[in-house]
Structure 1
């Protein structure tokens, strides 16, 4: 598949969106994109990412949902607010944006990786209207002490060298199957990673999720991948810790890495549709394992 086609495919999906601006901090703007129609669904991307982390999920979900995918403050098209930028400092801006955009509407919240931490913090505030929370490849479980080392763009002199850096970093952290590090994944990385201004994030290295889980007011689902570079050597610990989160269901997907909603897009899309169609009044606190 040619790079030109890939870029135009991203631009096609971008052009199909409606864009809304909310405050992302004093004097800072936060950009939201919207697709589809139906119950509201908010998707929060991961670190070094943007709305494009959901590039292979948006159209499938927008068939039955109004999908909102912002660039978090300090990422993508959104401005960086002053001060320390981490999940706990950004979550209030995202929650304020949800309130501005959705008002009293009910909504579901899905967060990937760093966006999962932001989502968990938002859910702990018990916002009116939140029906379900889905956490994908989330950390903050006290298990990640040192993320994989990634290559720097410094010294990359031309497009081929920059592409090789992006490919190497996708292999090291994001995707398990090297064949899935395709032109689209590289294009997403190339357009997103250089605009990450929220450096020095540290909450991912803590166990913040363990305390937050007691405050979640809604059914919560978790999705991880068996070959996630953050967890592949400590799957038993991942199971033990996530057992304590009170998840309605935990799914572990095989043969996929951290960016599981890209690498196993069809399977994750089907999971999300199922999760988001389950009744919200069922008893919580019981984990169903699908590993």
Structure 2
């Protein structure tokens, strides 16, 4: 395995300590979700900000920590909120787990509670977070300033064929489960398996095993594509240039987005895979900041 990236290694001696350190800098709050709570973490609240609130929606079988290498740099001059989406991470199950519109409504209601001033919001959705982010963006209405889609499906396009990854649920012990989680990082999340590090594996294990909503089934629909037309002029996109989900067809994804918004800024980060915000964090953070202006 690669060493933990320096920006993260400086924060703790172990992956668990690093995760706890970044989480400890956040304010943790809950808003209603089904019979429990939707869990949010907020960095930068209370500072004097130049920018609008920035809301981050993580990927499938993920949690807030999909953004672990982004929240601290991005919160230097603005409030950053990262949610555990319904039925994922620490958040409760939604009443209708297969209904993305209902799940989006839970997220939007939470945002209205947390940011009641009615001001504009920038929204970023990675993978499943971008798929669910489509209806979230539409339901935000005039409060949405910019919606940045990061490596998302939900566009009515087939996923590229991938090598088998296996199921961690069928493994007899933790060592075998970890092997499956590492395989998932190799096949799905990273462009270069040599960059996989112990923190990435720790987060993959934690997030995947906490997931209850079957987000891939929603991502196979075209709900994001159907959400795009009313958002023209407020869209942007970032893709890893070696994203395995869109391998050989990233241009087709760009074309679907540009059919909805011909002026959409669409940026690819060379050499990065699906989890571009982690594998190429510095380039991603710089690109996102430029897009949000």
| TM-score bin (small chain) | 0.7 to 0.9
Alignment match, 2:37 = 29
The correspondence of residues 61-80 of structure 1 with structure 2, limited to 5 A, is: 61-80=74-93
The 1:105/1:238 distance shift into structure 2, 3 A limit, reads closer
Alignment match, 1:108 = 122
Whether contact under 8 Å (2:257, 2:264) holds in the other structure is no
* Superimposed CA distance per residue, residues 196-219 of structure 1 (whole angstroms, 9 cap, x where no aligned partner): 110264332233333321111652
Is 1:261–2:277 an aligned residue pair? yes
* Superimposed CA distance per residue, residues 145-171 of structure 1 (whole angstroms, 9 cap, x where no aligned partner): 577443211343343322211100111
Is 1:97–2:110 an aligned residue pair? yes
Within 2, Cα distance between the matches of 1:213 and 1:178? 33
The 1:147/1:77 distance shift into structure 2, 3 A limit, reads farther
How far off is 1:181 after superposition?
A: 1.3
* Superimposed CA distance per residue, residues 250-270 of structure 1 (whole angstroms, 9 cap, x where no aligned partner): 012221111111111001100
The farther-off stretch of 230-239 and 68-77 is 230-239
Alignment match, 2:9 = none
Is 1:12–2:6 an aligned residue pair? no
Within 2, Cα distance between the matches of 1:258 and 1:87? 22
Within 2, Cα distance between the matches of 1:116 and 1:200? 11
Alignment match, 1:221 = 236
The 1:133/1:167 distance shift into structure 2, 3 A limit, reads same
The 1:63/1:231 distance shift into structure 2, 3 A limit, reads same
Where 1:202 maps in the other structure, the secondary structure is: helix
Alignment match, 1:151 = 166
Unaligned runs of at least 5 residues, structure 2: 5-11
Alignment match, 1:83 = 96
Alignment match, 2:7 = none
Within 1, Cα distance between the matches of 2:256 and 2:264? 15
The farther-off stretch of 260-269 and 87-96 is 87-96
Is 1:48–2:56 an aligned residue pair? no
Alignment match, 2:133 = 119
Whether contact under 8 Å (1:131, 1:218) holds in the other structure is no
Within 1, Cα distance between the matches of 2:185 and 2:260? 29
Where 2:168 maps in the other structure, the secondary structure is: coil
Within 2, Cα distance between the matches of 1:250 and 1:222? 5
Alignment match, 1:140 = 154
How far off is 1:128 after superposition?
A: 3.7
Whether contact under 8 Å (1:126, 1:216) holds in the other structure is no
Unaligned runs of at least 5 residues, structure 1: 278-291
Is 1:239–2:247 an aligned residue pair? no
The farther-off stretch of 109-118 and 37-46 is 37-46
The 1:270/1:200 distance shift into structure 2, 3 A limit, reads closer
TM-score relative to the length of structure 2: 0.87
Where 1:68 maps in the other structure, the secondary structure is: strand
* Superimposed CA distance per residue, residues 28-58 of structure 1 (whole angstroms, 9 cap, x where no aligned partner): 2101001113231110001010000001101
